[in-house]
Structure 1
Amino acid sequence: MGKPIYNRIKAVLAEKNRTNNWLAQEIGMNTNTISKWCRNDMQPRIENLVQVAKALDVDVRELLVSTK
């Protein structure tokens, strides 16, 4: 079984035709951090997740993998 997937940041970036670099610039984060989030190697803090949602113009819930 592979590693668990908690967020959908990579998928939403693709849906919006945006890149990790674009997101890093929009929210003032390091591109390496964004890459780790996209690979689910590391999870963003709630505050950062809200920033990502605002930058991508989506509901923050769209960035999370549903548990049901």
Structure 2
Amino acid sequence: MHVKANFSYDPSDDPYVPCRELGLSFQKGDILHVTSQDDPNWWQAYRDGHEDQKPLAGLIPGKNI
């Protein structure tokens, strides 16, 4: 699934992200490729076009956050 970011996000500013090192920062308007929605609070995703630059997907706020 692909989603367009409606806001900018920086995991280093988020006290609730489970692991800041795995958080994925993005800017408003970025297209994110969501690879897992298993956790309703924290989805796994890549910025579209960056799949090969990071070995693991990053965490982004899910629909319930």
Q: TM-score, normalised by structure 1?
A: 0.32
Q: TM-score, normalised by structure 2?
A: 0.32
Higher relative contact order (CA 8 A, sep 6+): 1
